[in-house]
A and B are shown apart, each in its own frame.
Chain A
Amino acid sequence: MIHASSVTKRIKKQLILSNVSLCMEGIYGLVGPNGAGKTTLMKILAGLTPMDEGQVAIDERSCTKGKYVKAHERIGYLPQDFMVYPNITVEEALDHLALLQGMMDKGERHAAVAEAIQKVNLNGHETKKMSELSGGMRRRVGIAHLLTRKPSILLFDEPTAGLDIEERIRFRHLLKQLGSEHTIVISSHIVEDIEFLCTKIGVLKQGQVLFEGTPSELKSRAKGCVWEYCIHPEELDDLIATREVVQLLEEEDGIHARVFSKNGGTGGRRVAPRLIDGYLAVVRRGEPR
């Protein structure tokens, strides 16, 4: 469990994070619109960026030294666009990263790298050059690198951004699998991924925490605000112009449009909210918890 208390960060007098307090455990999803401060918070947790105020504790033990989180051996951070040593093979890159971690013994290094490659299903790609890998494969190498360090907490910044659908699904399964052994924090704006993976969610907007709780608690924030309309294709433009349509599904009897609104119109029926509705309800309302 990683606990951030009153974390504040300013850059050139602009408030990036304001008094952020979150308790991250299980598979934790950090969501929010662009510019919410998700990546800054992840970098602070990873010890890459200093904070101005606040404390971070892992398993109730403070790991803040000065303005930095100093827990590199316990926290692994995968940036959005992981790429190292483009001219060498996956195995050589992982071996060298393990060496940089201080794993001096060659045999120990090789065993750790082989185990990590196995865990992230990179078998058969060990001899490929890093520059030849797809975005998803590179992120797998990034995870393999983190696993050689055996950290208890893994931080993933937008792990599925820019991946094709198949790769995204594979990646989600891999993260789910890792969640059984590690505390995972995922920053994402893809609510679908969060819904699939996370057991707890934090919503950030403009550097403030708007919500923290379970997915069902987030869904309940939109209770009574989601309507479904069954319409003909020619009515769609009118509906989009007048209502906030969050999802469209083409069925045999017409188009089923899910609308986020406090008041339903004629022909609409109130339906159970989904995670994206809860997210919208929280972000739109905008006030802090």
Chain B
Amino acid sequence: MLVAQDLWKGYGEGERRVEVLRGFSLTVQKGEMVAIVGPSGVGKSTLLYLLGLLDRPDAGEIVIFGKRANLLNEDERAHLRNRKLGFVFQYHLLLADFTLEENVAMPLMLAGERKERALQRAKELLAQVGLAHRGHHYPDELSGGEQQRGAVARALACGPELLLADEPTGNLDAVAARRFFELLQQLHLRDGLTSVIVTHNEVLARGCHRVVHLLPEA
């Protein structure tokens, strides 16, 4: 499903240049739940953004859903992000001007779905993550755990094949983090989801099929 081969990525120019990823490779099978762990600043989020087609590597190649990512133009990348990828970010990143329901419906609307149908689907997804009663609330009226579950519902809106989560439990307490993990496992078992999760959470990492350690100078 996903092959990353010899990825290089750095930031800055000249003497201020910092190489974040140095020849990193990864293969993810369908249905697999992969945890990427490592200290801060080692490039975990950068790797996730590369795998999620939000950025391009300086060198190396990513093959995703059988397509070579560096051959895809921006429109094709955007289309893949919309239809086959789901993102859960560290700080929830719900749109503040929209209700939770509208946030969840947004990927569907971007895919061309009618608003009414998108909102109906959003209600179903929110029910799945236990937030059916919070659909009309704005993000600033939700707790951290609720926002994170809302973000998961949004990531699943278009029925993605691959979920990419960037420290999804970073701002949650132990109970909320556990619930989030259970929800993720449920989605894997029921829908055959594949996921790559960047995390510091040892419990969450141990529950994944595979843990990839990203080390400084790796």
Q: Are A and B part of the same complex?
A: no
